[in-house]
A and B are shown apart, each in its own frame.
Chain A
Amino acid sequence: MGSSITQQIFQQIVNGLSLGSIYALIALGYTMVYGIIKLINFAHGDIMMVGAYAGWYAITVLHLSFLPALLFAMVACALLGVVIERIAYKPLRNASRIAALITAIGVSLFLEYGGMLLVTAQVRTYPPVFPETMYSFHGVIFKYGDIVMLLTSTILMVLLHITVQYTKMGKAMRAVSFDKDAALLMGINTNNIISFTFAIGSALAAAAGVLMGVYFNTIDPLMGIIPGLKAFVAAVLGGIGIIPGAMVGGLMLGLIESIVSGLGASTWRDAVAFLILILVLIVKPSGLFGKNVREKV
């Protein structure tokens, strides 16, 4: 009896980490964009949806295998992210924050319902990419998909970390996020850096979209809304604008959700996520990893 409860707990941890790694990948894009231009990119969840469709197209129509399809989706979404930034967000860089936020909402609606026009509202099934193999370890079941998902997202996060910390581009990104004007004076082309940030964030979202399609088997044009909101919760939980915060926040949110589901309250899962959001905002708005910044007059 005791061992079956521990098994249950470990099973929920495995499920939670798989789900959490998707949230983390989406949250990274949110947090990077927020860190660099202080914009909540509401369209980010919908970019994930586009990524899922791009992956679906690559697998079913172009008959690619998993990795090339993943890369295809990532490149497609990176381009999409840059185009969106150039058309919709760049002209508003000096406008009020509310104007930018409303534009982001507009882009999000456009992707959702424009996507619906393009691919119809019909739910599509992802082809099985992985074998249905399951590995059992002391009674805890690992699906093949779980392992691939954790592995893919870990690799992507490590790559991101290396890019941000050790490359010239990453250094420039950090400089722009620290002080845009000073970075401009130091000869950094801030426009390019911002586009680069959107490209990376959108590519990560696309990867999350493909993984999500593979994991849940179905995709539809509105699939990005709820994961997008939850990834945002994850980003706030870890401290928005902070890259490691988004990773930890995503994994934590995934764990909390699967524990709530495991307790038999899965219909309340979303409410719990938003409750956490409000509590974090009230108690420590800067998030787990954030520092308090004094307001200057």
Chain B
Amino acid sequence: MRNLFNRQNLVALLGIVLLYAVIQGLIVFDIMPPFYKLTLILICIYIILSTSLNLINGITGQFSIGHAGFMAVGAYISAIVTAIHHGPLLLGLLAGAIAAALAGLVVGLPTLRLNGDYLAIATLGFGEIVRIVFLNTEYVGGAAGFTLSSKITWTWAFVLMVLSVILMKNFVSSTHGRACISIRENEIAAESMGVNTTKYKVIAFTMGAFFAGLAGGIYANYMYIIQPMTFSFLKSFDILVMVVLGGLGSMTGGIVGAIVMTLASALLASVPEWRLVITAVLLIAMMLFRPTGILGTKEFSLSFLGKKGDKNATSKN
């Protein structure tokens, strides 16, 4: 608490406010074309998604490939609150996130006993089940989708993204976060040191699901329409690619990955048939030549601005 307002945090805060103000200015004065605005808001959404998946896959060392399932839960629940019951936006987003967290808890409790590949497949199965359930529910439009009005502005997306990232970053640097990292490094050793591995795996999983639900809610309330096909496991793979590209286990890496991939798909929007081929080649090449991703488990930080004692401990393990 004593150094909450140190130089490092103040510079970071200043940077965030400046970034927000510049883009908000560009939007208010109508300088920014709508396509750029869409890309910026998508970047915010994908940053939340990739950092939350990183919490599960990178920090805790589990392997979930059903993240789109939680996103779908958040999207549909928030859409039901805001569009059908005309609830306030914040309430809708929160309801979506909490519903996704509950889904995460229900899925996580039994399946987190599984390891590696089996967990991956179980989460994949879960994601597909969620999609099929929404596909068969006429209340939310079935296969045709669910239309709603667009309420999310750049301010909403940016503020929610910054809050989510700060919350997750602080979780990772806390005692609980260290426990999660110890599970990644060696589960058996962590267990014998008295870490309740199941508890921490479930906490990380539920938290990841919460933020995925939040991102889903933002997506639904921005995009005018949500369809079950949007949340197919291709979406889960997209998010996974971002995390892996940025560096599994690096929170800032996840952010870099989300920005790079969203910009790349925006640039390739004119040649959609090439987009996924390029993604695939990138993914294979990355795994062959630099399997740790752009940042590895290192964090990009402003610690060079601070004094001694501010050294970022999470980057070294």
Enumerate chain A interface residues (CB-CB to B < 8 A): 38, 40, 88, 91-92, 95-103, 105-110, 112-114, 116-117, 229, 232-233, 236, 267-268, 270-271, 274-275, 277-278, 281-282, 285, 295, 297
Contacts and interface: CB of A to CB of B under 8 A. Distances in A.
B63 A98 contact: yes
Main secondary structure of the interface of B (DSSP, over half): helix
A88 B288 contact: yes
B132 interface: yes
Given A109-B276, A113-B276, 18 more contacts: A88-B284, A101-B117, A102-B240, A102-B287, A103-B283, A106-B281, A106-B283, A109-B283, A114-B277, A270-B132, A271-B128, A271-B129, A271-B133, A271-B136, A274-B129, A281-B118, A281-B125, A285-B114
| Closest 9 A/B residue pairs (Cβ) | A106-B283, A109-B280, A110-B280, A274-B125, A113-B276, A106-B284, A271-B132, A103-B287, A99-B291
A297 B277 CA distance: 41
9 contacts: A40-B120, A95-B291, A100-B287, A101-B120, A105-B283, A109-B280, A114-B277, A236-B121, A281-B114
A265 to B, nearest CB: 9
A102 B244 contact: yes
Nearest to A236: B121
B273 A116 contact: yes
B280 A107 contact: yes
Interface residues of B, number: 39
Contacts of B57: 98
Contacts of A110: 277, 280-281, 284
A108 B240 CA distance: 14
A103 B237 CA distance: 12
B119 to A, nearest CB: 8
Contacts of A38: 117
Interface string B111-123: 1011011101110
A101 B63 contact: yes
A19 B125 CA distance: 20
